[in-house]
């Protein structure tokens, strides 16, 4: 009996590591089957005992086809493309690389905030065009208008999971006041970290920088749209290092064009990779960093290794390290037996 692992993701360094390591194990059959659609996955992975997933859609329909599957593992922090409820009902464990890039994403968020506050990219562009400080007239003075010291300004955090909690001390180090909107986190938790819990509207109205750091769910898609941008200060910046669909991109573009907010820094967008005719690319007050916020040598090493580790743990009769749905335990045991008895 062999344990079949299918990678449907298209992340080369992850697939390469999986192939090298699983091919060394006689009891494991590994197949690399990059997929884009539900039908692709059903055709290529329906007989898998474990699957490694990228951004492809693991919907209820797909999960219902995985009759032999014990684990869906993703080398990402986010897993909004996986129907967790359907996986749990099917007795399938889901794992991710939660916390592996916490510092990296919080660093990247802070870097984008600083770039907005100091208008770094606008100044750099002006210098490359031959403008140097104020001796060249009004061009640079126009860019400098609105730059204020960070100390005393307000950062609003939408979501208060691991990444925003790592961001708080970094922001406080610059003297920023920190507001938090997260209906699932007690006010005492934010207070203990030196932040203040507020309502969603209050956060938008009072923040100089609005940072989106929550998970994407069907309920909060486009939680930031035309109505919300009108609530923000005209001098405020939006920073999104979470998930693109949390922001209504068309409404954001209209708001930036109209001057309703000062600018936006986006590590993520609604449809990735970005198409070159996306109008946001033409705006001087939009920074786009290509979903790179989680990158570092350390993080990439962990991302490369974690799916292999989680599949190996299931293979050895253990729970995955990055377990997303521990509530599946009883269903898993009923379907597959004691998880601490080796699979092979």
Active site residues: 243, 272, 291
Is residue 269 within 8 Å of residue 249, measured between CB atoms? yes
Helix axes 120-128, 102-117, angle to 10 degrees: 60
Closest CA to 147 of 121, 117, 177: 117
Full 3-state SS string of 26-72: CCEEEEECCCCCHHHHHHHHCCCCEEECCCCCECHHHHHHCCCCCEE
Query: From residue 134, how far is each of 35, 128, 139, 141 by CA, in Å?
Result: 54, 15, 8, 6
* Beta partners for residue 30, in sequence order: 5
Query: Taking the alpha carbons of 334, 340, 343, 344 in that order, is the dihedral positive or negative?
Result: negative
């Amino acid at each position: 009996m062999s344990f079949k692992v299918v990678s449907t993701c298209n992340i080369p360094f992850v697939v390469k590591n999986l192939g090298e390591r699983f091919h060394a194990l006689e009891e494991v059959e590994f197949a690399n089957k990059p997929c884009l659609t539900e039908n692709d996955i059903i055709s290529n992975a329906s007989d898998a005992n474990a699957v490694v997933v990228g951004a492809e859609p693991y919907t209820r329909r797909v999960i219902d086809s995985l009759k032999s599957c014990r684990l869906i593992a993703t080398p990402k922090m986010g897993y909004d493309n996986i129907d967790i409820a359907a996986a749990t009902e099917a007795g399938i464990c889901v794992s991710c690389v939660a916390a592996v890039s916490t510092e990296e994403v919080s660093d990247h968020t802070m870097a984008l905030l600083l770039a907005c506050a100091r208008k770094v990219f606008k100044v750099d562009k002006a210098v490359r065009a031959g403008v140097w400080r104020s001796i060249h007239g009004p061009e640079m003075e126009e860019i400098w208008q609105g730059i204020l010291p960070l100390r005393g300004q307000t950062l609003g955090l939408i979501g208060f999971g691991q990444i925003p909690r790592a961001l708080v001390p970094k922001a406080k180090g610059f003297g920023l006041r920190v507001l938090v909107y997260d209906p699932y986190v007690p006010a005492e938790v934010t207070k203990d970290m030196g932040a203040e819990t507020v309502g969603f509207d209050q956060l938008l109205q009072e923040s100089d920088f609005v940072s989106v750091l929550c998970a994407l769910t069907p309920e909060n898609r486009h939680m930031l749209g035309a109505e919300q941008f009108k609530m923000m200060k005209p001098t405020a910046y939006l920073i999104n290092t979470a998930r693109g669909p949390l922001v209504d991109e068309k409404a954001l573009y209209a708001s930036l064009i109209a001057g309703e907010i000062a600018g936006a820094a986006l590590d993520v967008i609604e449809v990735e990779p970005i198409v070159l005719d996306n109008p946001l690319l033409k705006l001087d007050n939009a920074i786009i960093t290509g979903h790179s916020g989680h990158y570092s040598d350390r993080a990439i090493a962990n991302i490369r290794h974690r799916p292999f580790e989680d599949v190996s743990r299931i293979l050895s009769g253990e729970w995955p390290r990055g377990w997303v749905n521990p509530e599946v335990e009883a269903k898993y045991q009923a379907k597959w037996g004691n998880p601490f008895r080796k699979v092979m």
